[in-house]
Structure 1
Amino acid sequence: MEPRQDLRFCQTPDRVTLACAITGSGPRLVRAGTWVSHVECEAREPDTWSTIEALSHHHTLLRYDPRGCGLSTRDVPPFGFETLVADLETVMDAMAPEPAALLGISCGAPLAIAYAARHPERVSSLVLVNGYARAYFSAPTTPPHLLEEAKLMLATIRQGWAQEKSPFRQIFLAQLMGSDAADPVARHLISERMRLSMTPDVAERHMRINYAIDVKAECALVQCPTLVFHARDDQMVTADQSRKLVAWIPGARFVALDSDSHVLPTRREAGRVFVAETLAFLGGARPDKPRLSRRQKQILGLVAQGMTDKQVARELGLSPRTVEMHVALALRALGCANRAEAVLRADREGLLDDVV
């Protein structure tokens, strides 16, 4: 059974129907349209849904499929960036009449920036993830090799978008997912969403728009508090792009994520940092702080110093088996898959500060 989300629909002035998905309760958080979008597919992806659910604990999260994508009208006339901004205006007018927070991920970031600049009275806060203001064809200093790469992607997208074994699909997923592409389950889910999200023709239209975006001038017009995230090793949009956003948007704050994935952080420490920082920024409560026993804190503190289980056992006068047990309990309490993640999270939560 799929997780619960309410589906609503609104219509643009040119009679395109936009599909919206609503989860949670509380102040509105609206995700600007982004491509590879299919709100029903997202609900079937456990990792993606876990992040959606975490944000929905404190907010009414509204996501929508852009025109030509997902459950929205698929057969659409030619469109450009301004059309996509107008579609966001339609969604905001229909679904978020009061001032709301905007979440812009990837190419949704410049959409959110443009809307916030043009409608400052409608946006309470701005959260941008792996975004940019200028793209390959609009930035004056794009290196020649990146321009050639962009042209090659455009030349092959129609033939390769829906073909699972095409070189385009392999390169695109590798850049989109980073090391997560090595997980066959995660790769299959994103690949399936990619296939179902739009036709090759619409995918090419969106890519051409994305490669030509330029909202640098509008960054200076943003008046609301802004939080900017970027994966340190993003292979699709470099972290330098978000650092430029922070320089161009007045008062914006930057948070680097230890990830190489371009999609919304969902797993491991990067996902937890994103959720915690976003909820705190938007005024919601942070997720409950995990609890560790004094012994678990002691052991993690020594693990953080590079000690093995045997060395920890000798240091504390315990058996290696007892140390292993405490480490396993700490991993469970912290929701981490391995010791490195556990040490990072325990340190970030301040759980190791009082270890003696």
Structure 2
Amino acid sequence: CFDRFILDLRRCALLCGQEEIRLRPRSFDVLRYLDVLRYLAEHAGRVVSKEELIQAIWPSVSVTDDSLVQCIRDVRKALSDTPHRIIRTVPRRDYLFAAEVSPDILAPAFSSNDARDQKITFCRTPDGVNIAVASAGRGQPLIFHSTWLNHIEYEWQHPVRAPLLHFLANRFRLIRFDVRGVGLSDRDAVDISFEGFGRDLETVFDALDLRRPALIGIAPGAPIAIAHAVRHPERVSRLVLHGAYALGRNRRHSPQQREMADALIALMQQGWGDEHSAFMRMFSTRYLPSGSPEQIALMARLAFLSTSHKTALRVMSESCEIDVLDLLPQVSVPTLVLHCQHDSVVPFDEGRRVAMSIPNARFVSLESENHIPLPGEPAWSKFTSELVAFLSD
């Protein structure tokens, strides 16, 4: 705590009393915005140079002095610090956090070393594919499945993906894995298919020998999670589906959806493989329409690192043909379905269809245009609170 503010790193939130301050930084994503404030507060009473601040917060990203100045300006605006009482500019010596800080602010964003440091192991599928599995945190086991566009090692520090992962690892034993062809798992797998991805998930369950973990399926990971929950209801305690669909684009009986799928695959054939290409920026913007330029660039970087050009095309083609519609009425485990209202990756109506077709499923609509809500937007608090309430019930 400092002045009248609370910096809650566990929630990725800045509070004034009990009210959360809505953050709208112009320069950087909210997580980095809060990191700047945290770093200055941790070093209260000491002058911090611009070079030190940039190296501490953006060690692998090129950040200009002008961008840092804008970031500090955004932080001051959130704190109503126009007289610069809290963050002072020291001529030729940079910044000084002048407010008195209570020890609470120095509490880490993680509740323990177990949540901060993930452990990576490997397991082998029946068809001989090595799958990389990451585990972090303590408590009730929670398997997080998002299929592709992920890399279990890189994502852990990724400014866009890390907030949700760290939030979950603070409360559960979070288990993630890279499917075949993706991230740290075997990149040369022959069978890139819905069935193959299902084998990957089953192998993770078998290898960890978990007692009825909860299962989260995100986007293409959702239909795979649905199929697993129907096939093995005794192995899943609760099912969470976000950005979910039961029918791939080519199965939705919509000429427009089929045309969109064909156009996207055609663009991927030409533009995938260069993270700085116009296509990769466009592709990443679909996931983060309200993201900052830095967030979109980092999302493109994640996509580039996650898989090869060839595998990306195969995964996208396979995703367009998914059909688990007939399985939905067979889901018997408690289910929570969340969907962003203006999601441009998976239409809102697809999530609604999933929720309507699963017996007794709870549906939560999120006011966001991003595929997954970001810290700082109102949907983030609703998203995380609904997750915790459902999984802890």
Q: Does 1:19 align with 2:142?
A: no
Q: Distance in 1 between matches of 2:160 and 2:276?
A: 24
Contact 2:281–2:297 (8 Å) recurs in 1: no
Matched, 1:221 2:330: yes
Does 2:307 align with 1:198?
yes
Distance 1:235 1:50 in 2: 21
Q: Classify the secondary structure of the residue corresponding to 2:161.
A: helix
- Percent identity over the alignment is 39
TM-score, normalization by structure 1: 0.75
Matched, 1:5 2:118: yes
> Is contact 1:153-1:168 (8 Å) kept?
no
Secondary structure, in 3 states, of the residue corresponding to 2:176?
strand
Partner amino acid, structure 2, of 1:87? D
- The separation in 2 between residues aligned to 1:27 and 1:256, in whole angstroms, is 26
Post-superposition offset of 1:18: 0.7
Matches within 5 A, 1:131-146: 131-139=244-252, 141-142=253-254, 144-146=255-257
Question: Cα gap change, 1:33/1:230 in structure 2, threshold over 3 Å: closer, same or farther?
Answer: closer
8 Å Cα contact 1:28-1:96 kept in structure 2:
no
Q: Secondary structure at the match of 1:154?
A: helix
Find 1:68's aligned residue among 177, 181, 185: 181
SS at match of 2:150: coil
- Given the alignment, which residue of 198, 204, 208 partners 1:91? 204
8 Å CA contact 2:133, 2:175 repeated in 1 = yes
Partner of 1:158: 269
**What amino acid maps onto 2:272 in structure 1?**
W
Q: CA deviation at 1:54?
A: 1.4
Runs (4 or more) in structure 1 with deviation over 4 Å come to 264-267
Distance in 2 separating the partners of 1:264 and 1:31: 16
Shift of 1:268: 2.3
Change (3 A) 1:131 1:123: same
1:177 equivalenced with 2:288 (yes/no): yes
1:256 matches 2:365? yes
CA deviation after TM superposition for structure 1 residue 79, in Å = 2.5
Is 2:234 aligned against 1:125? no
Q: Structure 1 pair 33/165, CA: closer, same or farther in 2 (3 Å)?
A: closer
Change (3 A) 1:281 1:96: farther
Contact 2:275 2:301 in 1 (8 A): no
Equivalent residue, structure 1, for 2:343: 234
C-alpha displacement of 1:167: 4.3
The 3 A distance-change label for structure 1 pair 166 and 74 is same
- Decide whether aligned partners of structure 1 residues 237 and 273 sit closer, same or farther in structure 2, where only a CA change above 3 A counts: same
Moved more, 3-12 or 250-259: 3-12
Normalised to the residue count of structure 2, the TM-score between the two structures is 0.68
1:197 is displaced (CA, Å) by 0.3
Distance 1:57 1:174 in 2: 29
Report the counterpart of residue 217 of structure 2 in structure 1.
Answer: 104
What CA deviation, in whole Å up to 9, does each residue of 1:33-83 have, x standing for no partner?
421010112112234222112112221010101100001111111331111
3-state secondary structure, aligned to 2:122? strand
Contact kept in structure 2, 1:12 and 1:18, CA below 8 Å: yes
> Which secondary structure does the structure 2 equivalent of 1:228 belong to?
strand
Give the equivalent residue in structure 1 for 2:193: 80
Higher helix share: 1
1:147 aligns with 2:252: no
How far off its partner does 1:260 sit?
0.8
Compared CA separation, residues 156 and 238, structure 1 to 2 (3 A)? same
Displacement of 1:249 in angstroms is: 0.5
Displacement after TM superposition at 1:168 (Å)? 3.0
Change (3 A) 1:9 1:276: same
Tell me which amino acid in the other structure corresponds to 2:205.
M
Counterpart of 1:44 in structure 2 is 157
Quote the residue 1:54 is aligned against. Answer: 167
Q: Could you tell me how far apart the structure 1 residues matched to 2:375 and 2:216 are? A: 15
1:136 shift after superposition: 1.2
**Secondary structure at 2:186 match in 1:** coil
Q: Which residue of 2 aligns with 1:186?
A: 295
